A and B are shown apart, each in its own frame.
Chain A
Amino acid sequence: MSRLLLLLGVVACGHPGGVAPQSPPAPPREANETAPLAATMQVQFPVGPECHASATSDTGPPIAHAVCVAMQPGGPAEAVALRLATLDWQRSSSELLGALREVRVSSEDWYAVARVMEAHNPRAALALLDLPATTSDRGLLVEVRLSQLRLARQVEDAERLRRSRALMLELATDGAIRLRLVNELAALDERPLVAAICKSGADPELTWACAEADPKRLPDYLHALGALPVLTYADADRLRKLAGPWLPGLRCVDGSQLPPVGVSSLVAMQAPPAVDAVVIYHRLHDGAPDAQAQCLLGESAAACLTLVAQGNTCPMLFALADYIATLRASDRDSVLANLFSQKNELYVRLRNGSPDAAAVLLHLHLMLAEVLVDTPDTLKLRMPHYHTTQAYGFWSKQPRTEDFQVLLSPHLRDTVCKIDTCQQWCATGPSYRGCVQTCTPFLPDLKRACGPT
């Protein structure tokens, strides 16, 4: 404050454009009549008589006059703002700004003056903001740009509004600033500007803020939401409120009406799901109560299978395996018996489908092999070595990325890779008629799956 008044005082009262020096002397002032800041100013730069004369006579060059008014006791800075606000900015803003630029006042001081002017003359305040807009202080510049945008909207200055929006984008390079701009601009309903700042889409710093600031564009943010490093069931309710229409599977979050997701209905979806829905449903199951977790995995599996069936890419080909892994043993048996039936249309389509479809079954059989390795059983479907060979068969249809053995846990490998003959095969599982004959075609695959010992 003191700096503003000091500099204004020097320029206005000592500048050639100031009031003539023949003015009468200023009346003496009492030391305690002004606020402390003004008092400090008075000590260092006593008010000249010309200022007093200008202020009291309401004449003289406008800037000098305004400054001189400000030199009067009682709210000096507000007086500067109020006086500047009365000037005819509409007609002569360039002239006024040119003159004010000569005044060596800091950008933050001009900003403060403009803020006070807003209520009295928003057009004048908008014009005055050109002065602090040259600051290199990015924190202040954010304040200035937001004020410019707000005022340009208020006075309906289309050209300044267009320019303000463009300049706003140039600011949005820093995390704290971008987050602030998104929140402030959303409050101003500047949706296109918010969308432009959020355009990168994949920045975890802005993902939630952008999605919540611009919910109509939520599909644009689904990928970024699914890619957040931290996304768990704790976010489910927030996400459901935000994205319910685009993520119908979030009905699982409402635990009161969990729809059973049977395997037979997994590909019964009518509308193609969003690719990112697979990821989001799957990730939200982390930390969910059992029923909700199973429901979310079912939705993830259903979305994945639908995508694969439609020839699209599923980003989590293990979703079906994870879903079936969460079923109770009795439910799993019936589901698997149904799924592995030669007549099951889904299984046949997956078995004869694309590499992605085969990968779904690869993960399914791998899961079953791992889950069943320590489970004595009476069903062929529960033999881990059977599922290992099946997994190997589907792995063989995959683009090679790693050795199959990498996919097997050491415990599973130690168990199933000990089998050298069909007699051993049949001895480790349920005894049923024709086991050895059934085993015969699988045994070579099991040896290949296990690799060199």
Chain B
Amino acid sequence: MIAVTATFDPQDRDLRDKLAADAATLPGRPTPESFIAQQFIDAFARLGLFRFEPGPGSGGTQLALHLSSGAGPRRWPNADVTLEISLAGEPPISMVLFRRAHCGAAPCSPTDLADPTWYAQLFEHVIRQWPRGMFKHIVLTTTAHQEPGGQVRTVESVTEFGQRGDNTPSALFELMVGDDQIPIALCRDAPHQRWRGLGRYQGRSLPPEYEPSCWIDGKPAVVLNGNGTLTLVRAFLRTPL
């Protein structure tokens, strides 16, 4: 579970006040902080990889969103509003949430700052870009085990890794055992990868609860021995908004 909190730079009172006024018309009258956190959660939950909760949570992984429109005396609406995403252990990711008024390249900012489509589109673009290292430090499992043919098995179901009904990988991962690492993908019901060791692959005797991968990003240069840590390299959205 990832706890998502949002904060505003204390000097951006005008921005927060405007967002509070706009959000006051929404059901539940969310605070600006809870509104921003929820927009993030709504977008990133679509990956099917993580579970989020708004607020500080109870000591698990913390993800902080911070809105600020600069370090000097100029503030929104005469300066761009930057959103910074910080996850413990990872370099923060910074992006422009709103451009300043009269920015010249419409749309600069939505008229209604509490318009959910604004945030949905922005976050979808962030997911599609997948900035380097995003969510890389979250350990998804430590049970990943690579077999000689290249398959990777994990105790968890592949649905835990964002893979839904079809065979196309929905994410790329990295398996690390000790200092060695390989890129992999996980998916279901596409057994052609088992033929990588055609004629030689004899199978292994891992417990049946281990669920196999079925697709590998390139031939494995090395076979990693022992259980490894699986982390995310990038994920893909299957359907646009």
Contact = CB atoms under 8 A, between A and B. Distances in A.
B101 A402 contact: yes
A205 B199 contact: no
Given A115-B198, A176-B185, A204 B77 contact: no
B104 A139 contact: no
21 contacts: A1-B194, A36-B203, A76-B199, A111-B192, A116-B198, A137-B190, A137-B192, A139-B167, A139-B187, A140-B167, A204-B126, A208-B129, A229-B126, A234-B91, A315-B104, A316-B103, A318-B103, A401-B102, A407-B78, A409-B14, A409-B75
B78 A409 contact: yes
Most buried by B among A78, A139, A398: A139
A138 B168 contact: yes
Contacts of A108: 190-192, 195
Interface of B: 14, 72-75, 77-78, 82, 91, 93-96, 100-106, 122, 125-126, 128-131, 166-172, 185, 187, 190-192, 194-195, 198-203, 214-215, 217, 236-238
A177 interface: yes
Contacts of A356: 104
A410 B199 contact: no
B217 A180 contact: yes
Contacts of B73: 370-371, 373-374
Contacts of A125: none
Interface of A: 1, 35-36, 75-78, 81, 107-109, 111-113, 115-116, 137-140, 143, 174-177, 179-180, 203-205, 207-208, 228-230, 232, 234, 283, 286-287, 314-318, 325, 356, 359, 362-363, 366-367, 370-371, 373-374, 395, 398, 401-402, 406-410
Chain B contact residues, majority secondary structure: loop
Contacts of B103: 316, 318
A325 B69 CA distance: 14
A205 B75 contact: no
A230 B92 CA distance: 11
B102 A407 contact: yes
Contacts of A367: 74, 78
A374 B103 CA distance: 24
Contacts of A174: 168, 236, 238
B129 A406 contact: no
B192 A316 contact: no
A366 B77 CA distance: 11
B168 A111 contact: no
B127 to A, nearest CB: 9
Nearest to A177: B168
B92 to A, nearest CB: 9
Given A139-B167, A315-B104, A406-B77, A78 B199 contact: yes
Contact of B126 (A77, A230, A234): A230
